[in-house]
């Protein structure tokens, strides 16, 4: 191979190294995951645990919405929020949802976590008990 071609390859490899992030060196991505089981504290309060990960040193705000079908009449709905100082690892945040009335059984939960410019979502059916 020619010297000019080898120099060109070296420049390309160097430029690529600058734009491809390291798998171990980048900050943690922001994620949120609703856990399967929620705790019925009272007919007006349910604690919904979330597992949140976000870059160390950042602050994250979580909101949870809970919707539970009733035997008669409209669904019961409630919401709650939490706050977290991120450490780059998976952290559990227990969000208290108000105001019910809630009961033991299934409910539909949706969660949002906002950190910096990242907004992430999760939804799932939870077991309230």
- The average confidence (pLDDT) of the chain is 85
Average pLDDT over residues 114-128: 95
pLDDT band at 117, cuts 50/70/90?
A: confident
Task: Specify burial of residue 76 (Cβ count, 10 A radius: 0-12, 13-18, 19+).
Answer: middle
Q: Which of 38-42, 78-82, 112-116 has the lowest mean pLDDT?
A: 112-116
Distance CA 122, CA 64 (A): 10
User: 27-128 belongs to which CATH class?
Assistant: mainly beta
Collapse the DSSP code of 61 into the 3-class scheme (helix H, G, I; strand E, B; otherwise coil) and give the result: strand
Distance CA 28, CA 36 (A): 23
Distance CA 76, CA 67 (A): 6
Q: What is the pTM of this model?
A: 0.78
What percentage of the chain has pLDDT greater than the value 70?
Answer: 79
Of the chain, the end-to-end C-alpha distance in Å amounts to 71
What's residue 100's pLDDT? 85
Do the Cβ atoms of 32 and 51 come closer than 8 Å?
yes
Domain boundaries defined on the chain: 27-128
Q: 100 or 35, which is more confident?
A: 35
What's residue 29's pLDDT? 87
Average pLDDT over residues 25-45: 90
What's residue 119's pLDDT? 94
Average pLDDT over residues 86-108: 96
């Amino acid at each position: 191979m020619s010297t000019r071609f080898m120099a060109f390859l070296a420049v390309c490899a160097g430029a690529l190294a600058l734009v491809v992030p390291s798998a171990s060196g980048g900050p943690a991505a922001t994620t949120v995951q609703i856990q399967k089981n929620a705790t019925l504290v009272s007919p007006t309060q349910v604690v919904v645990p979330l597992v949140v990960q976000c870059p160390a040193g950042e602050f994250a705000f979580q909101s949870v919405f809970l919707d539970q079908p009733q035997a008669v009449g409209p669904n019961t709905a409630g919401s709650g929020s939490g706050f977290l100082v991120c450490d780059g690892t998976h952290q559990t945040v227990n969000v208290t949802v108000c105001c019910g009335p809630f009961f033991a059984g299934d409910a539909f939960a949706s969660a949002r976590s906002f950190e910096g410019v990242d907004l992430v979502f999760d939804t799932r059916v939870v077991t309230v008990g």
